[in-house]
Amino acid sequence: MRRTLSTLGLAGAMLAALVAVPASAAQDSSDRGRPEAEPIVIAHRGASGYRPEHTLEAYRLAIRMGADYIEPDLVSTKDGVLVARHENEISGTTDVAARPEFAARKATKTIDGATVTGWFTEDFTLGELKTLRAKERLPQVRPTNTAFDGRFEVPTLQEVVDLARTESRRLGRTIGIYPETKHPSYFQSIGLPLEEPLVALLEKNRLNSRNAEVIIQSFETANLRKLDKMTRVRLAQLMDASGKPYDFTVSGDPRTYQDLAKPENLKWISTYADGIGVNKNLVVPRDAAGKLLAPTDVVRDAHRAGLIVHAWTFRAENQFLPVDFRIGSDPNARGDITAEYELFYRLGVDGVFSDHPDTAVAAREGL
């Protein structure tokens, strides 16, 4: 199914960039099919730079900070309910390891070819999962977030939708949702497919339409191609800077994410998806020392294929920034995240995934 999305224009302000931007990488109006608009800000797992990720409080704070979309990663419970967790293994994001009543649930499984030991959402009913409490996943990086450990539940997708609708009415602007299906091949293999309950929930909430502020994303391709036949909402193919979609590993397809970023494969992606969500390094690579190299043509090529481009993940701490934008030597101190946004906005990306959505909104307002 061919899809067309509104596309977004270049930043008006020039960046005093530390890298040169070749003319081929800059976006011009001939490459864009729709009128210019602002890049969107997607709250990556909520305002996860300030609250434990994938909690209603993280999403609520992100909305208050001006995010256009909130992003729940979706996994399934034992009874087939979609909940928001970064992974189905939850020892790093909940207090499950400290709960003696669930000690026997600890297991070792193979997830997308990797051996993982811990506690898994698919071994808990929703009622059991609701007794757990969220905790900060990166306590060494974000120690202030640990003040909120033990205070918030694991939310269902329905609760995330309800929050977005409530806040949309309160603020007078539409808050979109940008769910990611996590490990879809794995969940399919254990009889808990993610696609059917996701589409059913969209139908229930009258969100299964082209006009709905919903974008479904996945690192795999097969489930997006399946969803293209099941739903009318927009779809985004996620692409890392290395590796390949796990469904390609299963099927024997030799293509990597780097291959998918080539013009001929972007055209293929456009037959089932509306856009791509790309690792920032596919747009502006870094050298072995972490310094920025010249931008690639991925944004231009994707736009020419009729795809929007959303880049991930923007985080304010030095350790996540290119060397060019770090301030001081403390890896956990904040660097010049504004300069990074300005670089990517200038290159014509249509949106950014950010752990600190207030900084993405502020940088956009400065364009």
pLDDT value at residue 367: 82
State mean pLDDT over 151-175. 98
pLDDT for residue 17 is more than 70: no
pLDDT value at residue 366: 87
pLDDT value at residue 30: 33
Please check whether residue 179 is in contact with residue 62, taking contact to mean a CB–CB distance below 8 angstroms.
no
pLDDT for residue 250 is more than 90: yes
Digit-coded pLDDT (tens) for 187-236 = 999 999 999 999 999 999 999 999 999 999 999 999 999 999 999 999 99
Please check whether residue 277 is in contact with residue 319, taking contact to mean a CB–CB distance below 8 angstroms.
no
pLDDT for residue 321 is more than 80: yes
**How far is Cα 81 from Cα 255, in angstroms, rounded to an integer?**
33
Digit-coded pLDDT (tens) for 74-97 = 999 999 999 999 999 999 999 999
pLDDT for residue 147 is more than 70: yes
**How far is Cα 180 from Cα 75, in angstroms, rounded to an integer?**
9
Label residue 37 by pLDDT band (50, 70, 90): confident
In terms of DSSP H, where are the helices of the chain? Answer: 56-64, 126-129, 157-171, 184-189, 195-204, 222-228, 246-251, 257-260, 263-269, 280-283, 298-304, 337-346, 357-365
State mean pLDDT over 143-155. 98
pLDDT for residue 24 is more than 50: no
**How far is Cα 248 from Cα 259, in angstroms, rounded to an integer?**
12
pLDDT for residue 340 is more than 90: yes
pLDDT value at residue 32: 29
Beta strand residue intervals within 85-151, DSSP E: 107-111, 114-118
pLDDT value at residue 108: 98
State mean pLDDT over 27-35. 34
pLDDT value at residue 6: 39
pLDDT for residue 136 is more than 60: yes
**How far is Cα 88 from Cα 123, in angstroms, rounded to an integer?**
10
Digit-coded pLDDT (tens) for 52-81 = 999 999 999 999 999 999 999 999 999 999
State mean pLDDT over 157-184. 98
Q: What is the 3-state secondary structure (H, E, C) of 44-86?
A: CCCCCCCCCCCCHHHHHHHHHCCCCEECCEEEECCCCCEEECC
State mean pLDDT over 332-355. 98
**How far is Cα 58 from Cα 51, in angstroms, rounded to an integer?**
5
Provide the sign of the torsion angle of the four alpha carbons 145, 150, 156, 159, taken in this order. negative
Structural element, H or E, at residue 314: strand 308-314
State mean pLDDT over 24-35. 35
**How far is Cα 90 from Cα 106, in angstroms, rounded to an integer?**
10
pLDDT value at residue 13: 32
Helix (H, G, I), strand (E, B) or coil at 303: helix
Digit-coded pLDDT (tens) for 99-130 = 999 999 999 999 999 999 999 999 999 999 99
pLDDT for residue 34 is more than 80: no
pLDDT value at residue 197: 98
State mean pLDDT over 329-355. 98
All structural domains of the chain: 29-86+154-365 (3.20.20.190)
pLDDT value at residue 154: 98
Ranges 7-21, 214-228, 266-280, 323-337: which has the least confidence: 7-21
CA distances from 242 to 79, 217, 257, 267, 281 (A): 34, 18, 6, 20, 10
Residue 217's Cα: distance from chain center in Å?
8
pLDDT value at residue 23: 36
- Report the chain's mean pLDDT, rounded to a whole number: 92
pLDDT value at residue 15: 37
pTM of this prediction exceeds 0.85: yes
Kind of pairing between the strands at 308-314 and 275-279: parallel
**How far is Cα 239 from Cα 216, in angstroms, rounded to an integer?**
14
pLDDT value at residue 175: 98
Kind of pairing between the strands at 114-118 and 40-43: unpaired
Angle between the N-to-C axes of helices 56-64 and 157-171, in degrees from 0 to 180, rounded to the nearest 10: 20
pLDDT for residue 343 is more than 90: yes
Q: Omega before 117 cis (within 30°)?
A: no
Label residue 287 by pLDDT band (50, 70, 90): very high
Structural element, H or E, at residue 351: strand 351-354
State mean pLDDT over 343-356. 98
Kind of pairing between the strands at 107-111 and 114-118: antiparallel
The edge-to-edge listing of strands for the beta sheet with 275-279 is 82-84, 73-76, 180-181, 215-218, 234-239, 275-279, 308-314, 351-354, 40-43, 69-70, 176-177
